Amino acid sequence: MYNSQSEYQSLINWAGGVVTKQWVDGSYSTLQPFGYWYTLMNIYNTGSDLQAAIPNAYTSQSQYQELINWAGGVVTNQWVDGRYTLLNNYGYWYDLMMVYNQRPDLQAAYPNVYTSQPQFQGLINWANNVVTGVIKPQDSAFTYLNYYASYYELHHT
């Protein structure tokens, strides 16, 4: 059990450093599947600009989604941010979740995507259908999803 928010954030920052390979640690393979979260929250913990703009990312789902949308915007080059290189390793996730956060149709189709692996897999399958042209006419999300088309193609079922 952690005694304070700062100890919790320190633990997240350590995990974020591991998954972004800032140092070598034997925990990498255990942490890597959740690297998108550790990386994002490490950046948030160390980014006073993000904390000021999104003060409740840990406690508010809507603010957490704002943080994801920011990361999605960075990895799809909607704006320039020096943290791009850290975020880009998990850009496929930030990109897809940014699209999801902005689309009521996807939220209705996959209401538990944040907590259900099968629903997240369904969203990956949907993204693959968008980038490979299965969905016609071309979905408006193609522009964003195409950045990580190879990931969606490789991971669809």
Q: Residue 1 pLDDT > 80, yes or no?
A: no
Of 54, 84, 77, 78, the closest CA to residue 67 belongs to 54
Q: Residue 80 pLDDT > 80, yes or no?
A: yes
- Measured from the Cβ of residue 97, the count of other Cβ atoms closer than 10 Å reads 22
Percent pLDDT > 90 in the chain is 91
pLDDT computed for residue 38 by the predictor: 96
Q: Residue 8 pLDDT > 90, yes or no?
A: no
Residue with tokens 């990580």: 148
pLDDT computed for residue 140 by the predictor: 92
pLDDT digits (tens, 9 = 90+) for 13-65: 999 999 999 989 999 999 999 999 999 999 999 999 999 999 999 999 999 99
Cβ–Cβ < 8 Å for 126, 69:
no
Q: What pTM was computed for the model?
A: 0.91
Whether the bond into 137 is cis, omega within 30 of 0: yes
Q: What is the SS3 assignment for the chain?
A: CCCCHHHHHHHHHHHHHHHCCCCCCCCHHHHHHHHHHHHHHHHHHHCHHHHHHCCCCCCCHHHHHHHHHHHHHHHCCCCCCCCHHHHHCCHHHHHHHHHHHCCHHHHHHCCCCCCCHHHHHHHHHHHHHHHCCCCCCCCCCHHHHHHHHHHHHHHCC
Map out the domains of the chain as residue ranges.
47-155
Residue with tokens 């957490």: 64
Token pair, residue 102, equals 């902005």
pLDDT computed for residue 3 by the predictor: 63
Average pLDDT, the chain: 94
pLDDT digits (tens, 9 = 90+) for 101-138: 999 999 999 999 999 999 999 999 999 999 999 999 89
- Measured from the Cβ of residue 68, the count of other Cβ atoms closer than 10 Å reads 23
